[in-house]
Amino acid sequence: MWRELTGARIFITGGTGFFGIWLLESIAAANDFLKVDVRATVLSRNPQHFALKNPRLAARPEFEWLTGNTENFVFPTKHCDYVMHFATASAAELGAGDAALTLTTLLGTKRVLQFASTCHTKRLLLASSGAVYGRQPADRSHIPETCTTAPILQQRTSAYGEIKRMSELMCALTPDLDCVITRGFSFVGPFLPLTDKFAIGSFIRQALAGGPIRIHGDGTPVRSYLYAADLVIWLMTLLLKGRPNQPYNVGSDQAISLAELAQSIAATDGTLMVEIASVPTWGHTERYVPEIQRARNEFGLDVLTPLPLALSQTVRWAKQWVERSARQ
- Name which of 270, 228, 267 is nearest 250 in CA terms: 228
CB atoms within 10 A of CB 303: 19
Q: For residue 132, is pLDDT > 70?
A: yes
Using one digit for the tens of pLDDT, what is the confidence trace for 183-192? 999 999 999 9
Mean pLDDT of the region 149-166: 68
Q: Rounded to whole angstroms, how far apart are CA atoms 183 and 145?
A: 9
CA atoms within 13 A on the CB side of 149: 17
- Are 222 and 288 spatial neighbours (Cβ–Cβ below 8 Å)? yes
Using one digit for the tens of pLDDT, what is the confidence trace for 255-300? 999 999 999 999 988 879 999 998 887 667 899 999 999 999 999 9
- Are 289 and 250 spatial neighbours (Cβ–Cβ below 8 Å)? no
Q: How confident is the model at residue 151 (pLDDT cuts 50, 70, 90)?
A: very low
Strand partners, 124: 83, 179
Which domains, from first to last, does the chain contain?
A: 2-188+226-251+288-305 (3.40.50.720)
Q: For residue 150, is pLDDT > 60?
A: no
**CA distances to 36, 43, 77, 293 from 68, in Å:** 28, 6, 14, 38
Q: For residue 180, is pLDDT > 60?
A: yes
Q: For residue 152, is pLDDT > 50?
A: no
Check residue 279 and give its pLDDT: 85
* 3-state SS class at 10: strand
- Name which of 51, 56, 88 is nearest 67 in CA terms: 51
Amino acid letter at 200? I
- Are 39 and 9 spatial neighbours (Cβ–Cβ below 8 Å)? yes
Check residue 102 and give its pLDDT: 82
Q: Rounded to whole angstroms, how far apart are CA atoms 324 and 327?
A: 5
- Name which of 277, 99, 252 is nearest 189 in CA terms: 252
Q: How confident is the model at residue 95 (pLDDT cuts 50, 70, 90)?
A: low
Burial 141-171 (b: 16+ CB within 10 A, else e): ebbebebebbeeeeeebbbbbbbbbebbebb
Q: For residue 155, is pLDDT > 80?
A: no
Q: Rounded to whole angstroms, how far apart are CA atoms 80 and 242?
A: 19
Which is more confidently placed, 39 or 175? 39
**β-pair type (222-223, 256-257):** antiparallel
Q: What DSSP state is assigned to residue 5?
A: G
Q: How confident is the model at residue 206 (pLDDT cuts 50, 70, 90)?
A: very high
Q: How confident is the model at residue 135 (pLDDT cuts 50, 70, 90)?
A: confident
Q: For residue 109, is pLDDT > 90?
A: yes
Q: Rounded to whole angstroms, how far apart are CA atoms 154 and 238?
A: 32
**CA distances to 72, 237, 251, 271 from 296, in Å:** 37, 11, 11, 38
Handedness of CA 90, 91, 96, 101 (dihedral sign): positive
Q: How confident is the model at residue 96 (pLDDT cuts 50, 70, 90)?
A: low
* 3-state SS class at 273: coil
Q: How confident is the model at residue 148 (pLDDT cuts 50, 70, 90)?
A: confident
**CA distances to 117, 131, 238 from 222, in Å:** 40, 15, 26
Residues whose CB falls within 8 Å of the CB of residue 183, separated by 6 or more in sequence, listed in order = 128, 129, 130, 132, 145, 164, 247, 248, 249, 250, 290
Check residue 98 and give its pLDDT: 63
